Chain A
Amino acid sequence: MARAVTTRHKITATTAAWVVAFLIFFPILYTILTSFKTEAEAIAGVSLIPSGTFENYVEVQSQRDYFKPFANSVIISVGSTLIALLIGIPAAWSMAFSPTRRTKDVLMWMLSTKMMPAVGVLVPMYLLFRDTGLLDTTSGLTMVLTLINLPIVIWMLYTYFREIPGEILEAARMDGASLFNEIVYVLTPMAVPGIASTMLLNIILAWNEAFWTIRLSAANAAPLTAFIASFSSPQGLFWAKLSAASTLAIAPILIMGWFSQKQLVRGLTFGAVK
């Protein structure tokens, strides 16, 4: 087969790819379509053409008991991300720019804490939270999410910081910049894209976390994960509405995810794949 790509090859590949992509995306597509159907339509049979009604969304929006989990998801995802960045940026900074012989070991140890199975510490965490009043609070959930994602945050920031050429920081030093100036005028602007990418990935991971957010929450602090999980056996009567709720629950993260493919590879393979 010569390097020249035949059109026929391209068309075959394109067809195959689109078919496979459609099949993979189908469940999501179908959910979105169903959210625009009436309840009667939803159980009537497979149909790719909804009647285009917004009544489900209207109903979901108007119900206060949807708004609360949504708000909780936002609070704990964004909150845990911000705290993780607050703690993680200095740590990654120091490991990237003042590495010692132990830096690599510390980094690996941090990553290893992510590998501990959550269920292994379910019992003490549940009891601790219960006895300290953290059970079913957004602060409690935020704390846990911060801790489980901190290793990834530090790891990603570390890789981004390392990509900043050391010579540029030295140039700043030669140019008379104090440490503070060096950070404010040179390091931070160059680090912002990396920090933004890390933030994106972390919000995604926190939003989708479906163990601690379910087990350590109840009516008050339940985020969308717990809320949706509580509908594990809906009657078909609610299906269109549930589709609307699901679509709303996954839409923001889906869109964020489309923009974070590269970050995903970087953040979740711990650098073992380039």
Chain B
Amino acid sequence: MATRQTRALARIMIAPSVILLLIWMIVPLAMTLYFSFQNYNLLNPTNVSFAGLFNYKYFYTDPAFFQSIWNTLLLVGGVLLITVVGGILLALLLDQPIFGQGIVRILVISPFFVMPPVAALVWKNMLMHPGYGVFADIARFFGFQPVDWFAQYPLFSIVLIVAWQWLPFATLILLTALQSLDIEQREAAEMDGANFLNRFWYLTLPHLARAITVVILIQTIFLLAVYAEILVTTNGGPGYASTNLAFLIYRTALLGFDVGGASAGGVIAVILANFVAIFLMRAVGRNLDR
């Protein structure tokens, strides 16, 4: 479709985006890398010196660091588990003939559009609050002691909140993929004598495999960066019990004023994310070839 006339113009049109994103990519990352090798604390801003790998070593030996990595894995893994399994089940349910399909879908996707601070606040104060919360009331109704969620199970509580927010995303993606399953395949399987479970295992699940992979990869990218929910509920506590890597870096930078340390943490976070991104880009790239 391109003729000589449009090719030069095309390059001009794409330039601003490329330039802006290039600067956005390179400049902050380069600075982070630079700072990670510096002794730089905002409480003592004039005293900056080269630190070599000190920041990395410090991070590496800091028990909070390993705890945060572990928490990150638990957080991501927990949310993925709940959203993928829940998403598959919900997708299967929503694929059935239902009265009021449209409204059900709207209700189910709503959590995704609630901004994280609101979601966190609502769960913390309305549902999980040991005094006034709904869960507490239900517990008392059945004669149990209410659970102080954020004190006793801080990370788990956050997993719940984040999973609630991302379940709609997984459901929507999986439902879309489910509905692209050729109905004739289903009918052929029926004629071949497969019951529902058989059809699910041999037909539906393999078909969904691609979508599940995409859901996992994309959600992981975003889940590595969970922040607001932690800020609003536990602030990473008690201690470091609900601190993930992102929150730890934030604490180091803006509560500890340790620019060097936070930058080292940042580099580690970027490497971690890149690792996942490579797999995701392969999946996307394959699709772009179509």
Touch A–B, Cβ below 8 Å: yes
- Whether A9 sits at the interface, judged by CB under 8 Å, is yes
Give residues of chain A (244-273) contacting chain B, Cβ–Cβ below 8 Å: 246, 249-250, 253-254, 256-258, 261, 264-265, 268-273
- Would A13 and B93 count as touching, CB distance under 8 A? yes
A contact face: mostly helix, strand, loop, or mixed: helix
Residue among B1, B125, B245 with most chain A CB within 10 A: B125
Within 8 A of B (CB), among A97-136: 97-100, 104, 106-113, 115-128
Considering the complex, give the chain B residue whose CB is closest to the CB of A27: B122
Cα-based distance from A94 to B155 in the complex (angstroms): 46
A93–B159 CA distance with the chains assembled, in angstroms:
41
Quick check: B225 and A94 within 8 Å, CB to CB? no
**Could you tell me the distance in whole angstroms from the C-beta of B59 to the nearest C-beta in chain A?**
13
Contacts of B97 in A (CB 8 A): 5, 9-10, 13
Q: Is B231 a contact partner of A232 (Cβ separation < 8 A)?
A: yes
Contact A249 B115 (CB under 8 A): yes
Chief secondary structure at chain B's binding surface:
helix
> Across the interface, do A242 and B267 meet the contact criterion of CB distance under 8 Å?
no
Chain B: interface residue total (CB-CB under 8 A): 114
Asked whether, in the complex, the Cβ of A124 is within 8 Å of the Cβ of B31, the reply is yes
Q: Which of B25, B103, B125 contacts A234 (CB 8 A)?
A: B125
User: 0/1 per residue, A171-207, Cβ < 8 Å to B?
Assistant: 0000000010000000000000000000000001001
Asked, given contacts A98-B10, A115-B280, whether A232 binds B233 with beta carbons under 8 Å apart, the answer is yes
1/0 per residue, CB under 8 A from B, across A41-61: the answer is 011011000000000000000
When the two chains form their complex, are residues A122 and B266 in contact, meaning their CB atoms are under 8 A apart?
Answer: yes
* CA gap between A214 and B173 in the complex, in Å: 29
Q: With A1-B196, A46-B134 as given contacts, are A24 and B14 in contact (CB-CB < 8 Å)? A: no
Question: In the complex, how many residue pairs between chain A and chain B have their CB atoms under 8 Å apart?
Answer: 328
CA distance A264 to B113 in the complex (A): 11
Please tell me if the beta carbons of B121 and A121 are within 8 angstroms of each other in the complex. no
Contacts of A5 in B (CB 8 A): 97
Partner of A24, one of B110, B176, B228: B110
B21 and chain A: residue at smallest CB distance: A113
CA gap between A104 and B272 in the complex, in Å: 25
CB-CB nearest in chain B for A154: B17
With contact pairs A121-B29, A228-B121 given, residues A265 and B176 touching in the complex (Cβ less than 8 Å): yes
Whether a CB of chain B sits under 8 angstroms from the CB of A137 is no
Q: Is the CB of B99 within 8 A of A10?
A: yes
Minimum Cβ distance to chain A for residue B144 (Å)? 15
Asked if B262 contacts A31 (CB within 8 A), the reply is no
Binary contact track B247-290/A, C-beta < 8 Å → 1, others 0: 00110011000010011001101101110110011011111110
Q: Which of A42, A113, A169 contacts B24 (CB 8 A)?
A: A113
Residue of B nearest to A10 (CB): B97
A21, B107: Cβ atoms under 8 Å?
Answer: yes
> What separation, in Å, do the CA atoms of A251 and B155 have in the docked complex?
28
A150/B21 in contact, CB under 8 A? yes
Among residues of B, the one whose C-beta sits closest to the C-beta of A158 is B288
Please provide the chain B residues from 215 to 244 with a CB less than 8 Å away from any CB of chain A in the complex. 218, 221, 224-225, 227-228, 231-233, 235
Contact of B98 among A17, A43, A210, A228 (CB under 8 A): A17
State which size class the interface on A falls in: 35 or more
Contact B21 A123 (CB under 8 A): no
**Also in contact, A120 and B131, with CB within 8 A (given A14-B99, A94-B11, A264-B169):** no
Binding site for B on A (CB under 8 A): 1, 3, 5, 9-10, 13-14, 16-18, 20-22, 24-25, 27-28, 30-31, 34, 42-43, 45-46, 87-88, 90-91, 93-95, 97-100, 104, 106-113, 115-128, 147, 150-151, 154, 166, 169-170, 179, 204, 207-208, 210-211, 214-215, 224-226, 228-229, 231-232, 234, 236, 239, 242-243, 246, 249-250, 253-254, 256-258, 261, 264-265, 268-274
Interfacial residues, chain B to chain A (CB-CB below 8 A): 1-2, 5-7, 9-11, 13-14, 16-18, 20-21, 24-25, 27-29, 31-32, 35, 90, 93-94, 96-100, 103-127, 131-132, 134, 137-138, 164, 167-169, 172-173, 176-177, 180, 187, 190, 195-196, 210-211, 214, 218, 221, 224-225, 227-228, 231-233, 235, 245-246, 249-250, 253-254, 259, 262-263, 266-267, 269-270, 272-274, 276-277, 280-281, 283-289
Closest 10 A/B residue pairs (Cβ): A257-B113, A124-B31, A94-B10, A90-B13, A210-B228, A121-B28, A98-B10, A13-B96, A21-B107, A120-B266
Instruction: Give 10 A-B pairs besides A20-B93, A30-B122, A46-B137 with Cβ atoms closer than 8 angstroms.
Output: A24-B108, A95-B10, A120-B266, A121-B28, A121-B266, A123-B35, A228-B117, A258-B109, A269-B173, A273-B210
